Structure 1
């Protein structure tokens, strides 16, 4: 009898866990992946300086991280990890950030997006934006499941992920893939953007060269460079934006954030920017530099103030 009771409890416990888990994965494209060609490329994950480094993404997805219902604020954030469009710093600028947001009552969705240089991608520059638009539409289409509230769904990006996030925020209505289901009828516009040491421009002497080459190729036309220079894509409908950068960033010049700040203010888009004298590039939470980790407090307060004004 004790054995039967133990088995029953185990089965019940497993079932309850399956129904209430706050972490799971959703594939972006349940049917055909747009802009895809068959290749021998395979996804790879490695440890690079104690960071989970993912390359050759074949099945783009979002990893869902939900806060406990008791502290949920109704806000959600799509997170775009960086990696120069050559890889994804998946925990450093992705899942670790998601867990921090969860602790603040904010739902998080880590985007594993296709990388433009992969052999399975037909038109390189389109793939990341296709995945980001689709991810935002999935999140909006499943708001009830994620316990989200209208007007509280934003995007956060780091480095090249910041470029992708700002591309989504400025080019959310650009048709980059054929609509395949009801989710694709939804707007992909984020309600806000939080950009951390972001690549913004693709212009020479401002951009991060590696990101530019990986996304656009070595001989990109001026038209394509301008298309992905997001300081040129700002409109009055661009979402409110939060910017973080270190002025000693040797990889992505601080001018990227300054240019975006200037473009946003000219269009009267609400924007808040914080520049730190030290921190370099790729600092994530910023625990290695005194005072730098305060950006997370500033960002959370900004999201809360923005959400409460809805």
Structure 2
């Protein structure tokens, strides 16, 4: 039976399209992962209304690049949320990356280690270690991805906002592992974007689940202060964009308000948008009235870089 040429052409087109649409996924660490140990934990991927990844064993960066014709040279590393229990990989990760690509901005979705895995030795150190390495990887390969090494930002949602703000504010925290050449590259983001972020670990306004996962049941005052990022802001903290909803019942808006004040007091250029309604975890807020215009405000802000 002869093969229909039209059907064959269609199949070939699908194969070619699929080959072009596959994104590069890069392991953050070559060889042994620092601050890790052997365990029986296995990475779990649960896909329901969104894809949630828990017990992350191999932290990665997924690369999303705009077409060369529209590339602006800007890049953003995205840290999805999930209360430090899982990573909401598509809802606050790949969906956001595709939005950036539509604006000519390269995006990198970070699948970072979570502190509740037995494979992590010191719970609170792993997310920052992964974020530092992610920034250094993107900066070291900027030419390959047509990215300006001085226009690389960090973005985070909810607990991912804590990962992002910890990097943005404590990017120069020394490594406790044996360094390689890449670790000499600056891990300072050129700008920081925080969407309904967990910022503080103090009991008055923290997200209790994130604090418990990251710091444990009875953290010391030293640890609480170290990971309360509103207390760690310096003049060298990068320019920051913040979005939060007043009626956020999971992560109180005071997380953002207190961080804004700390940034202002240190003279850090900051723009903040507080919406009266929106709750928590709204991502791009599609179908949520004028709340869904917050990405437009972000795009406007990004024009200054």
Q: TM-score, normalised by structure 2?
A: 0.93
CA contact (8 A) 1:65 1:108 kept: yes
- Supply the distance in 1 between the matched residues of 2:287 and 2:249 (Cα, whole angstroms): 17
Structure 2 matches for 1:47-58, cutoff 5 A? Answer: 47-48=47-48, 50-58=49-57
**Which residue of structure 1 lines up, in the alignment, with residue 295 of structure 2?**
296
**Which residue of structure 2 lines up, in the alignment, with residue 34 of structure 1?**
34
- Supply the distance in 2 between the matched residues of 1:249 and 1:58 (Cα, whole angstroms): 31
- Supply the distance in 2 between the matched residues of 1:232 and 1:304 (Cα, whole angstroms): 29
C-alpha displacement at 1:254, in angstroms? 0.3
- Supply the distance in 2 between the matched residues of 1:77 and 1:264 (Cα, whole angstroms): 21
C-alpha displacement at 1:304, in angstroms? 1.6
**Which residue of structure 2 lines up, in the alignment, with residue 159 of structure 1?**
158
Q: Aligned pair in 2 of structure 1 residues 286, 38: CA closer, same or farther (>3 Å)?
A: same
**Which residue of structure 2 lines up, in the alignment, with residue 212 of structure 1?**
211
C-alpha displacement at 1:279, in angstroms? 0.2
C-alpha displacement at 1:47, in angstroms? 2.0
Q: Aligned pair in 2 of structure 1 residues 158, 145: CA closer, same or farther (>3 Å)?
A: same
CA contact (8 A) 1:126 1:176 kept: no
Number of matched pairs: 300
C-alpha displacement at 1:183, in angstroms? 1.1
C-alpha displacement at 1:241, in angstroms? 0.1
**Which residue of structure 1 lines up, in the alignment, with residue 119 of structure 2?**
120
Structure 2 matches for 1:76-115, cutoff 5 A? Answer: 76-115=75-114
C-alpha displacement at 1:179, in angstroms? 4.3
2:228 counterpart of 1:259: no
Secondary structure at 1:244's aligned position in 2? strand
Secondary structure at 1:269's aligned position in 2? coil
- Supply the distance in 2 between the matched residues of 1:21 and 1:256 (Cα, whole angstroms): 38
**Which residue of structure 2 lines up, in the alignment, with residue 6 of structure 1?**
none
Secondary structure at 2:78's aligned position in 1? strand
C-alpha displacement at 1:181, in angstroms? 2.1
- Post-superposition Cα deviations, 1:209-245, rounded to whole Å, max 9, x if no partner, equal 0000000001001100000000001000000000000
- Post-superposition Cα deviations, 1:129-174, rounded to whole Å, max 9, x if no partner, equal 1100000000000000110113210001000000100000011000
- Supply the distance in 1 between the matched residues of 2:101 and 2:22 (Cα, whole angstroms): 10
Structure 2 matches for 1:216-227, cutoff 5 A? Answer: 216-227=215-226
**Which residue of structure 1 lines up, in the alignment, with residue 8 of structure 2?**
none
C-alpha displacement at 1:180, in angstroms? 3.3
**Which residue of structure 2 lines up, in the alignment, with residue 150 of structure 1?**
149
**Which residue of structure 1 lines up, in the alignment, with residue 228 of structure 2?**
229
- Supply the distance in 2 between the matched residues of 1:281 and 1:96 (Cα, whole angstroms): 17
C-alpha displacement at 1:176, in angstroms? 3.4
- Supply the distance in 2 between the matched residues of 1:291 and 1:177 (Cα, whole angstroms): 45
- Post-superposition Cα deviations, 1:167-222, rounded to whole Å, max 9, x if no partner, equal 00011000134243211110100000000000000000211000000000010011
C-alpha displacement at 1:30, in angstroms? 1.3
**Which residue of structure 1 lines up, in the alignment, with residue 192 of structure 2?**
193
